[in-house]
Amino acid sequence: QKEVEQNSGPLSVPEGAIASLNCTYSDRGSQSFFWYRQYSGKSPELIMSIYSNGDKEDGRFTAQLNKASQYVSLLIRDSQPSDSATYLCAGPLPCFYGNNRLAFGKGNQVVVIP
């Protein structure tokens, strides 16, 4: 298993609905995870960081970390067309906790349909 995996295909959601993205990770010692948003042709932008088990909310975004099940998720409430992008999950690389290396998932494309 890769360090961080995003297995879902493209996600289409109607405007105003909730978009749900999931990411699994292999290292039980990982403490922190990140969600990046990447618009087509642009660079990844950090939108959520989560450092402890449970939920973290920021505006319409909620990140959830479940260490027992080794997954992290991102919920986008009241989805807007401007949320249409690829979302990347990232977590620390095992054995590299001291030098800030991250493993990235391949990303999930979200399309919000007006």
Partner 1 sequence: DAGITQSPRHKVTETGTPVTLRCHQTENHRYMYWYRQDPGHGLRLIHYSYGVKDTDKGEVSDGYSVSRSKTEDFLLTLESATSSQTSVYFCAISEPGLPRGSEQFFGPGTRLTVL
Residues of this chain that interact with partner 1 (CB under 8 A) are: 32, 34, 36, 42-46, 49, 51, 88, 90, 92, 99-102, 104-107
Residue closer to partner 1 by CB (options 63, 88) is 88
- CB 78, min distance to partner 1, A: 26
Residue closer to partner 1 by CB (options 13, 93) is 93
- CB 1, min distance to partner 1, A: 15
- CB 53, min distance to partner 1, A: 14
Report CA 25 to chain centroid distance, whole Å: 11
Residue closer to partner 1 by CB (options 45, 78) is 45
